[in-house]
């Protein structure tokens, strides 16, 4: 797993978006390092019924987006993440916030900060320290 800048496919995307099912799949792969579509189907079926083919389609999309790597081991495709969760999250947030700022200016940042009323004092202090470094 890379702790490096994102795959060029991701960097060039106007937005990196993950639907709810893609988020669940990525979460499972991040937690399990390496898995099969069957592993994910079995896991998701504990919460709700989902078809194996649906999971395979999602996995293929995540490979095409450059988020997962697929390798054939024997007759089975194994999947693993290409990037750490932190890198993907950072990229999504950066692209989203950049889009808001370019569209709405400083008002976007102020609206974001106004929405932080419910964060803990610890998180607030981390944010203040980050801002002071800039």
Q: Is the pLDDT of residue 69 over 90?
A: yes
pLDDT of residue 1: 58
81 alpha carbon, distance to own chain's centre: 10
Q: How far is CA 4 from CA 11, 31, 39, 54, 64, in A?
A: 12, 19, 28, 30, 19
Q: How far is CA 40 from CA 46, 89, 110, 117, 121, in A?
A: 10, 21, 40, 36, 37
Q: pLDDT band at residue 109, thresholds of 50, 70 and 90?
A: confident
Q: Is the pLDDT of residue 56 over 60?
A: yes
CA end-to-end span of the chain, whole Å? Answer: 28
- Span 88-101, mean pLDDT? 83
Tens of pLDDT, residue by residue over 73-89, are 999 999 999 988 888 88
pLDDT of residue 110: 86
CA dihedral for 25, 29, 31, 36, sign (positive or negative): positive
Q: Report pTM.
A: 0.70
Residue 65 main-chain phi, psi, to 5 deg: -75, -10
Q: Which of 89, 93, 62 is nearest to 77 (CA)?
A: 62
The residue ranking higher by pLDDT, 107 or 1, is: 107
* Structural domains of the chain in order of their starting residue, each with its CATH number: 8-85 (1.10.10.10)
Q: Is the pLDDT of residue 16 over 50?
A: yes
Q: Is the pLDDT of residue 66 over 70?
A: yes
- How many Cβ atoms from other residues are within 10 Å of residue 81's Cβ? 20
Q: pLDDT band at residue 133, thresholds of 50, 70 and 90?
A: confident
């Amino acid at each position: 797993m890379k702790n490096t800048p994102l795959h060029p496919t991701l960097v060039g995307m106007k937005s990196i978006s993950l639907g709810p099912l893609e988020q669940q799949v990525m979460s499972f792969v991040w937690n399990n390092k390496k898995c099969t579509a069957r592993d994910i189907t079995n896991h998701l079926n504990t919460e709700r019924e989902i078809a194996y083919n649906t999971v395979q389609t999602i996995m293929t999309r995540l490979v095409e987006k450059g988020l997962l790597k697929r390798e054939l081991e024997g007759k089975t495709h194994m999947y693993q993440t290409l990037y750490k969760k932190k890198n993907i999250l950072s990229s999504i947030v950066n692209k989203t916030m950049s889009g808001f700022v370019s569209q709405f200016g400083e008002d976007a940042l102020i609206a974001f900060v106004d929405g932080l009323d419910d964060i803990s004092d610890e998180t607030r202090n981390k944010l203040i320290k980050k801002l002071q470094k800039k």
